[in-house]
Amino acid sequence: MNEKIIPNKGNYKKLISYQKANVIFCLTFYFITHYLKKGDRTRDQMLQAARSGKQNIVEGCAASPTSAKTEIRLVSVAKASLKELLEDYEDFLKTRGFRQWEVGSVEYNCMRELGRKHNDVAFFMRLAKTRPPETIANMCIILLNQTDYLLFRQLQRLELDFVANGGFSERMARVRKAAKGGSVC
């Protein structure tokens, strides 16, 4: 048996959910520093929610070799943090009388397509630097919804992996049993 007790589970930077969360973090940092007043508590809240979304994906991936439970919990925290940020962007639009792009509108469809095709920070930052705050907020709303869906799918996959393969303790037992030639002790 070639199973390892502590497998190398890969690079979190390759996860599309992480890449999108990183774009959202960078866009949010730009947004709050340019369009929200210093001292506004919302600035800190939005930045922390964006950071938590990204960082909990990283931490969950780092914990994954030894704790499926921790990985699932942290990916779930990332998802919840980004939901909080989504609400902040929607509130920004509502409280300032800006329009949130409707599902099916030209802007909505165009941004959804851009979100599907691109995951790199530089691409979205170039767009943001030439757009008004309501456009950036709408861009982030769509990216947040896409990331939420990706994290939901990631959680489903983690659940299936756990059901099929067990966790760290089960893996340890299988490796030990295989090393002993199949005997339990």
**pLDDT, tens digit (0-9, with 9 covering 90-100), for 128-183:** 999 999 999 999 999 999 999 999 999 999 888 877 776 666 665 666 667 777 65
DSSP alpha helices (H): ranges in 36-167?
41-63, 68-95, 106-117, 121-128, 133-165
Q: Taking 70 as the threshold, does the pLDDT of residue 61 lie above it?
A: yes
Token pair 């969950």 in the structure block, residue: 60
| Phi, psi at 151, each rounded to 5° | -70, -35
Three-class SS state of 130: coil
How far is the C-alpha of 36 from the C-alpha of 134, rounded, in Å?
Answer: 12
Place 93 in a pLDDT band, splitting at 50, 70 and 90: very high
Distance, CA of 77 to chain centre? 9
Instruction: Enumerate long-range contacts of 175-182, CB under 8 Å, 24 or more apart.
Output: 175/1, 175/3, 175/4, 175/5, 178/1, 178/3
Would you tell me the crossing angle of helices 121-128 and 133-165 to the nearest 10 degrees? Answer: 160
- The confidence band for 8, taking pLDDT boundaries of 50, 70 and 90, is low
Three-class secondary structure of residue 107 per DSSP: helix
pLDDT given at position 35 = 97
- Rounded to whole angstroms, the Cα distance separating 113 from 118 reads 9
